[in-house]
Amino acid sequence: MAEPNWNNRTLFVADNVRVLRGMNSESVDCIATDPPFNKKRIFNAPLGSRQAEQRFDDRWRWDEVTDEWQDLIATDHPAIKEIIEAAVVIEGGSIDHRTGKIDTGRVRNSIAAYLAYMAPRLVEMHRVLKPTGVLFMQCDTEANAYLRLLLDAVFGRRNFINEITRRRVEAKSYPTRRLPANSDTILAYGKSNKHKWNSSFEPYDLANLDEKTERQYDLWDGARRYTLDNLVHPEGNRPNLTYEFLGVTRVWRWERERMEAAYEAGRVVQTAPGNVPRYKRYLDEQPGRKRDDIWDDVVQLETSELDWDTRKPLSLYKRLIECGSDEGDMVLDPFAGCATACVAAEDLQRKWVGIDIDPVAEEATYIRLREATGLNMTEQPVTVRKSPPRRQDVQRVPDDKLRDVLWNRQGRLCANPYCDAENLRKVDLQLDHRIPKVRGGEDGVMNRIGLCGNCNARKGSKAWGLFLDEERAKLPHKKV
Ligand SMILES: C[S@@+](CC[C@H](N)C(=O)[O-])C[C@H]1O[C@@H](n2cnc3c(N)ncnc32)[C@H](O)[C@@H]1O
Ligand SMILES: [Zn+2]
């Protein structure tokens, strides 16, 4: 596991795919985020002012995601590629399976384009999470099912944790031919089966108890409800826990000292002589009822001086972050907006890092932090960075050595699996990047390839993923 290569309380103002690619692997404990589906806000960014009334195209278009699509190396992520291609077809486009070429037809392929944009970002989010890490991703209803497929492909189906449904208090509109949409969906995934999880509790409403709790806590001590709990240890052979207490010998849950203290405090009771003593558990001391995956008790939105149209309730993010992390953990929101997740993390004594492409996010973050946490930003400053961090967990090897490594890894061949060049000499290997450096691709050996001169010439400046998809990568090669 690596240390984060950024400070606590950092906001990166840049495209998150580049920032994520610069982050050390396994350096984040929890991601809580709400990616844009309606992309309007993104292209406000370069203008620097949200008031600049430009005419935006709200939809995602395929021709805008070529970079992202090129970075998705089909051989590394075949499931992702299939999911995106399925979306293309569903939206009326087609795939030429011989050439791999995508024809988006006359439709704009908004979901497919959206997925192509999200996929490489999800791959990086997955990489930066620790094995104990948890991701929460809020989804738009329109993209929900597709995003879940993508998350299954990246995180593995077994690492799906929950689909949380949050009830909004008031529906946004009341259409006539369908039910009004009044929920938000949050998908939760673990990095592995060792992911963290803290149960979430809904405090009991003592004046209005549910039936089950009423039945369980049916004894009264003055005005306080209580129940009697088992004190006998479930396992048999525990010599240090086996003793006589109030005339009853059992294997107890506690050692004698603790048992006696609890008895003194009136918390261990024997209902009749000879009965097995039991623990007196008061309802008003319990954290509440364990929450399930339907949340109808989240405050709609706290008041703020900030008029930010996609702002989310702080209480929602606090609840998510409490489930998926502990105090001192590092929380990341790669689509930070006005920093709801970061502010929630600060409030819960977590460390945090946010990323947003919109420069307005900087001021918004200060405002929200001041409002909600009273953070003293002189003593505990927020770092704002415009360029991605540099990974410290990848080995930068000199060219000679890199050529050796690739020579061995590629079985003494060119990296192009279709290349038929023979008698390739080590010195003939030309060194290249899989994900180009300008898109945040790193220098470590995993991102490097060695090509024969011929393949390198054919590929030109094209991304590796796109080149491999092309027909001409597969044509017979001339001798080196
Ligand atoms: C739905 S909003 C997030 C709202 C946030 N949860 C809040 O409470 O303010 C999505 C945010 O993602 C940002 N964004 C969009 N594309 C991005 C990218 N490629 N890199 C970083 N941020 C991006 C937008 O600027 C926007 O602020
Ligand atoms: Zn070659």
**Between β-strands 289-290 and 201-202, what pairing exists: parallel, antiparallel or unpaired?**
antiparallel
Residue whose CA lies nearest to ligand 1 atom number 26: 337
Lowest-pLDDT choice from 61-70, 248-257, 386-395, 410-419: 61-70
- The DSSP code for 471 is G
How far does the centroid of ligand 1 lie from the alpha carbon of residue 269, in Å? Answer: 56
pLDDT (0 to 100) of residue 186: 97
Question: What pLDDT score does 308 carry?
Answer: 76
How far apart, in whole angstroms, are the C-alpha atoms of residue 141 and residue 37?
Answer: 10
Per-residue pLDDT band for 424 (boundaries 50, 70, 90) equals confident
Percent of the chain with pLDDT over 90: 62
CA of 36 to the centre of ligand 1 (A): 6
H-type helices in 290-359, by residue range?
314-324, 340-347
Ligand 1 neighbours by CB, cut-off 6 Å:
15-16, 34, 36, 41-42, 308, 310-312, 335, 337-338, 340, 355-358
Assess if CATH 3.40.50.150 describes domain 10-199+291-385: yes
The rounded Å distance from CA 444 to ligand 2 centre is 21
pLDDT tens sequence across 48-72: 444 444 445 677 888 777 778 878 8
Instruction: For CATH 3.40.50.150, list the domain ranges present in the chain.
Output: 10-199+291-385
* pLDDT higher than threshold 70 for residue 45: no
Spacing, Cα 479 to ligand 2 middle (Å): 9
Q: What is the pLDDT of residue 104?
A: 80
Q: Minimum-distance ligand to the CA of 451?
A: 2
- What was the pLDDT predicted at 51? 40
pLDDT-derived band of residue 479, with 50, 70 and 90 as boundaries? Answer: low
> C-alpha distances in angstroms, 199 versus 130, 196, 206, 348, 350?
20, 10, 21, 16, 17
Q: Please give the residue that has the higher pLDDT: either 455 or 71.
A: 455
- Evaluate the CA torsion angle 41, 43, 47, 51 in order and state its sign: negative
Q: Mean pLDDT, to the nearest integer, of 343-358?
A: 96
User: Which-ligand-closest: CA of 415?
Assistant: 2
Predicted local distance difference test score (pLDDT) of residue 48: 43
Where are the CATH 1.10.30.50 domain residues in the chain? 399-473
Query: Can you tell me the mean pLDDT for 149-176?
Result: 92
Contact 353/31 with Cβ under 8 angstroms?
Answer: no
Given this model, what pLDDT does residue 96 score? Answer: 85
- Global confidence as pTM: 0.87
- At 107 the pLDDT is 64
Would you say 253 and 241 are in contact if contact means Cβ atoms under 8 Å apart?
Answer: yes
Residue 243 reports pLDDT greater than 50: yes
If DSSP codes are grouped into helix, strand and coil, which group holds residue 342?
A: helix
> E strands of 7-145, at which residues?
10-13, 28-33, 94-96, 101-103, 129-139
d(CA 101, CA 96): 5
Say if domain 399-473 classifies as CATH 1.20.140.10: no
Q: Looking at ligand 1, which atom is closest to the CA of residue 338?
A: 9
The pLDDT value recorded for residue 460 is 84
Query: Is the pLDDT assigned to residue 333 strictly greater than 70?
Result: yes
- Which atom of ligand 1 is the closest one to the Cα of 16? 20
For the residues 303-310, what does the mean pLDDT come to? 78
State mean pLDDT over 179-199.
Answer: 95
Ligand with minimal distance to 368 CA: 1
Q: Does residue 108 surpass a pLDDT of 70? A: no
Distance of CA 383 to the CA centre of its chain: 22
Query: How many angstroms separate the alpha carbon of residue 439 from the centre of ligand 2?
Result: 24
Distance 71 CA to ligand 2 centre (A): 20
Query: How high is the mean pLDDT of the chain?
Result: 89
